[in-house]
Structures are given as structure tokens and as C-alpha cells.
Chain A
Amino acid sequence: MNWTPDQPMVSIKDVHKAFGDFEVLKGVSFDVMKGEVICIIGPSGSGKSTLIRCINALNDIQQGSILVEGQEVNDPNLDKLELRKKVGMVFQQYNLFPHKTALQNIMMAPIRVLKRDKKETEELARQLIRKVRLEGKEDSYPGELSGGQQQRVAIARSLAMKPDIMLFDEVTAALDPETVGEVLLTIKELAQDGMTCILVTHEMGFAREVADHIYFTDKGLIIEHGPPKTFFDKAKDPRTKEFLSQIL
């Protein structure tokens, strides 16, 4: 593992993934540099979520290579713990641990997985609660929080592991429009702090604002990509154009 920060943090090459006979990813490649914010957009079923789930090995791949800081993910002897220390993930359905308070949700992984000191971790957790603007909600259970609040706890929970890369899988798709903003603001601040982010999103305005690079996927392939300005204003591929015309 001779990875240096000037090399891509995530390097995806010719990734193929099938569920049974159905090929979801048909050869996807792209690189993500440190500090970059990548947005993956595209119609439902185009393989966006599958793609980012492959990056932290929640899904395995059949062919191709995914390097995360030089560590090959497509390897039967993969050290998943080592990978997941580097890669944080936030889900559409928040997936908080319902029997733990907001603070405990954040503290659990550092203490159990990284064997961190409890006191130190609590301090970090309180700091993260402030960062996602949830002061006063430390002792609330997920069931007592709104969707937007739960999602921000989920982001804080992931950040507590001090990952190098954050994956966001349609994190605002289950939220009502009013609370989408607060979650997006949190992600935006994260991006501004220099966190490497890979987002699957349907929030085009947000993608345009925060992304360094946009990838458009359809039927398991990357159809078109580019910086937001060129991508949104000068899309070339007819499928991209059609998708954008429907969504914008």
C-alpha cells in the first residue's frame, strides 16, 4: 500500500456487478481525488447506489478494481475493518440504532470498533452534535427525532470514526422538503472543510452548488461527466439531456 495523497483517493476501474442475471454495473470507471466532492446522478435503477455501496464493500463486485487509498476492495482477503475505518457512509433511511440515544449512537463505533477511550469519545460526540446543530438532542432517542435530525445524527455518527471519505446514498430522498435543507447544509459544510465526498443524489441544485464533478449514470454505465457548469449547461448526450429536462 504505497498510496500517497497525490494519487486518487478512490480509483474505480471497469467495475462489473450483477445481481443474478441482472447486470447492474457494466464497466464503470472513475477517480476521486482527496478533497473532491463527486455527485452521481441518474434515473432509478441505473446502479448509482450499488456503485457507492461497492466502495465500502457492502456489495461485492464480480469484475474490476476499486482502490481506496491504495487498498484493493475486490479482494477475497479484504480487511473490511481497515476499509471501513477509512470510508464513512450515510444511508437514505438514516439507519440509526433505535435503542441508543443520539449521543450513544455517535459514541458506539469509536468505542467498540476503534477501542477509543470513553471520555474522549464523549467529548468528540458532543462536538459533532454541535457541528450538525443538534445541541440539546444528545439524550433523545432516534424515535423522538425528526427525519432531518436523525439524518444529521447519522452523519455525525459516521464522522465520529474520522473517515477520509464519506459516502452519501440518497440521504435526503426520505425527507420532507423542509428538512432537506438542514441536511444539505451539514453536508455542504463538510465539503467546505475539505472532506472527500461521494454523493448519490437527486438534488440537482445542490449537486450544482457543491460538486466538483458530476457523473451521470444510466443502465449501469457512466454516460457523461464533467464539472457542474459544463455538465448542466452543455450536456451532450441525448439521454443526459432528457434526464435533465425531466428533473430541472
Chain B
Amino acid sequence: MEAFFEWFRVLYDTTGINLPFLYDSYDRGRMLDGFLTTVQLSVICLFFSVIIGIIGAWLQGSAFTWTRRIVNGYIQLFRNTPPLVQLYFFYFAIGTLLPKVETDWGGQAPMLGSFAWAVISLSFFAGAFNVEIFRSGIEAVPKSTVEAAEALGFTRLQIYMDITLPLAFRVCLPALNNNLVNLVKTTTLAYAIAVPEMLYEANQIWSDNVNVTEMMIFLLIAYFVLVGILVWAMNSWERKLKIPGYG
């Protein structure tokens, strides 16, 4: 392994192509941290945004006018404003309003760090789109199928979880796929509030090494691969969910 890394030092010495995140153990550590932070941020936001989508779509079908209004207001607010502005809003506006907590060495620290705010902000951002995506799937489920479940004594929640949602999922997966891909790419915005994700760490490295071109190419490839894995997983899930003789 060491020989492999050393080869890149030789590459730099002979051609000038500088990839310090491979041959330099310190930069390697930074890059790996950045990569893992991006993966972590993506997975957590994917999870919460889908949960928000499921709950939001359920509340949209509520019998209470105000519940529906609040959900729709949330969607409008988060869909019609830039995610970067939302991120700043959460981190700088809401974040400073929260009480400070004492750190181990007696100092003061914000209650929620930048990573937590990125999770909250990006989950709500992608969640707003997910609500609408799930709604489109739910509306595609025939009313008669729901009625059959009602006649069997299912409650509204049981119908949603056992029948409507599984069927809606299959309908809206391509759209959900798109939004989740966008979400992974949007995690780069967390750079703006100093979450040490991949773009942030890459910036650190190119600032130290002045190898902007190499880092840019690397970033493109890294995100391409990362999103590629997500798309592959979603597609195989879509195939797995396919019902024989349906749709």
C-alpha cells in the first residue's frame, strides 16, 4: 500500500501532477475525513428527508384544514427559497438564538454545531420536495383499493402504511431518485457553514498545495462515483420492488 502511495509522489516529481491526498498521510487523513463526513451527512439527510416526506404526505391527507395548511406552508417556504439561504438562516439566525452550553474546558459553545444545522436544514429542504413526490404517488393509488381496505376494517394509518405508501413508493421512485441525487449534491453547500465535508477538505488541501486543477478533477470524480452508487442502489431497489403482473 505504501508503495502505491509513494508512486504518486514520484508522479508529482516527474510530471507535476500533484495529488497530496494520496501520498501525504496528513492530507490523506483530511480527505478521508471529508469523504466520510459527506457520506454521513448524505445518509442522515436522505433518511430524515424521506421520513419528512412520508409524514408530510400523511398530514396532507388530514381532515383538519390547519394541518394541511401548515404542511403546504412548509413546502412553499422550503421549496421556494434557496437552500444556501436556508442554511445560513438556520445556522446564523436560529443558531444564535439558542442557549449556549458549557464545554469541557469551561468555554461556551453553541448548542448545535454546524454539522447538526446542516442535517436539519438540508433534511427540511429535500423533505419539502419529498412530500410533493410522495403525494404524486399517493394520488396514483386507486381509491377503490383504499376502499377495499376500509371495508376490511383497516384504520386510516394502517391503510397508509400497509397499502397506500407501498404502492405510492413504486410510482414515485424515479422522482424520489432524482431528488435524493440532488440532495447528495446539495450537501456541498454545508461548506458555507464550515462543515468539514469533502469540498471543504479539498479546499484546505488546494490552499496548502496550490493544486486547484487536480483537486477539482478529483472532486468531480468523487461525487460522480458517490452519486453513481446511490443511483445504482435506488435502481436495484426499484427492480426489487417490481410486482409481477403490475404496472
| Chain A contacts to B: CB under 8 angstroms | 56, 58, 80-81, 84-85, 87-89, 91, 93, 95-99, 108-109, 112-114, 140-145, 154, 157-158, 161
A158 to B153, CA, bound (A): 10
- Residues from chain A with a CB closer than 8 A to the CB of B170 are 99
| B139 is an interface residue with CB less than 8 A from chain A | no
Asked if B245 and A113 sit within 8 Å, CB to CB, the answer is: no
| A144 → chain B closest CB, angstroms | 4
Which residue from B145, B154, B166, B244 sits with its C-beta under 8 Å from A113?
B154
- Residues from chain B with a CB closer than 8 A to the CB of A157 are 152
| B158 is an interface residue with CB less than 8 A from chain A | yes
- Residues from chain B with a CB closer than 8 A to the CB of A91 are 144, 147-148, 151
Asked if B244 and A95 sit within 8 Å, CB to CB, the answer is: no
> Given known contacts A95-B144, A113-B158, is B153 in contact with A161 (CB within 8 Å)?
yes
| B156 → chain A closest CB, angstroms | 10
Q: Please name 19 further chain A to chain B contacts, defined as beta carbons within 8 Å, in addition to the given A91-B151, A161-B152, sorted by A numbering.
A: A80-B150, A80-B153, A81-B153, A84-B151, A89-B148, A89-B151, A95-B148, A97-B163, A98-B145, A108-B152, A108-B162, A112-B162, A113-B152, A113-B154, A141-B243, A143-B245, A154-B148, A157-B152, A161-B153
> Given known contacts A91-B144, A108-B162, A112-B158, is B243 in contact with A99 (CB within 8 Å)?
yes
| A121 → chain B closest CB, angstroms | 13
A140 to B150, CA, bound (A): 23
Asked if B155 and A81 sit within 8 Å, CB to CB, the answer is: yes
Contact indicator per residue, chain B 208-247, by CB within 8 Å of chain A (1) or not (0): 0000000000000000000000000000000000011110
- Residues from chain A with a CB closer than 8 A to the CB of B151 are 56, 58, 84, 87-89, 91, 158
| A199 → chain B closest CB, angstroms | 15
| A92 → chain B closest CB, angstroms | 9
- Residues from chain A with a CB closer than 8 A to the CB of B150 are 58, 80, 84
| B225 → chain A closest CB, angstroms | 33
Which residue from B147, B148, B162, B244 sits with its C-beta under 8 Å from A96?
B148
| B155 → chain A closest CB, angstroms | 7
- Residues from chain A with a CB closer than 8 A to the CB of B245 are 141-145
Asked if B153 and A97 sit within 8 Å, CB to CB, the answer is: no
- Residues from chain B with a CB closer than 8 A to the CB of A84 are 150-153
| B213 → chain A closest CB, angstroms | 50
Chain B residues bordering chain A, tally (CB within 8 A): 22
Q: Please report which residues of chain B, range 134-160, place their CB below 8 angstroms from some CB of chain A when the two chains form the complex.
A: 142, 144-145, 147-155, 158
| Chain B contacts to A: CB under 8 angstroms | 142, 144-145, 147-155, 158, 162-163, 166-167, 170, 243-246
- Residues from chain B with a CB closer than 8 A to the CB of A114 are 153
| A167 → chain B closest CB, angstroms | 8
- Residues from chain A with a CB closer than 8 A to the CB of B246 are 98-99, 141-143
- Residues from chain A with a CB closer than 8 A to the CB of B149 are 97, 109
| B152 → chain A closest CB, angstroms | 4
- Residues from chain A with a CB closer than 8 A to the CB of B244 are 140-141, 143-144
| B201 → chain A closest CB, angstroms | 43
| B237 → chain A closest CB, angstroms | 14
- Residues from chain A with a CB closer than 8 A to the CB of B147 are 58, 91, 95
A208 to B153, CA, bound (A): 32
| A45 → chain B closest CB, angstroms | 19
- Residues from chain B with a CB closer than 8 A to the CB of A140 are 244
- Residues from chain B with a CB closer than 8 A to the CB of A142 are 245-246
Some 22 contacts from A to B, beta carbons below 8 A apart, are A56-B151, A80-B153, A84-B150, A91-B147, A93-B144, A95-B142, A95-B144, A96-B148, A97-B145, A98-B145, A98-B167, A98-B246, A99-B167, A99-B246, A109-B152, A112-B154, A113-B152, A113-B158, A114-B153, A141-B245, A142-B246, A158-B152
- Residues from chain B with a CB closer than 8 A to the CB of A80 are 150, 153
A20 to B167, CA, bound (A): 32
A141 to B144, CA, bound (A): 18
- Residues from chain B with a CB closer than 8 A to the CB of A158 are 151-152
Most buried by A among B148, B167, B243, B246: B148
Q: Whose C-beta in chain A lies nearest to the C-beta of B148?
A: A95
- Residues from chain A with a CB closer than 8 A to the CB of B145 are 95, 97-98
- Residues from chain A with a CB closer than 8 A to the CB of B154 are 109, 112-113
- Residues from chain A with a CB closer than 8 A to the CB of B243 are 98-99, 141, 143
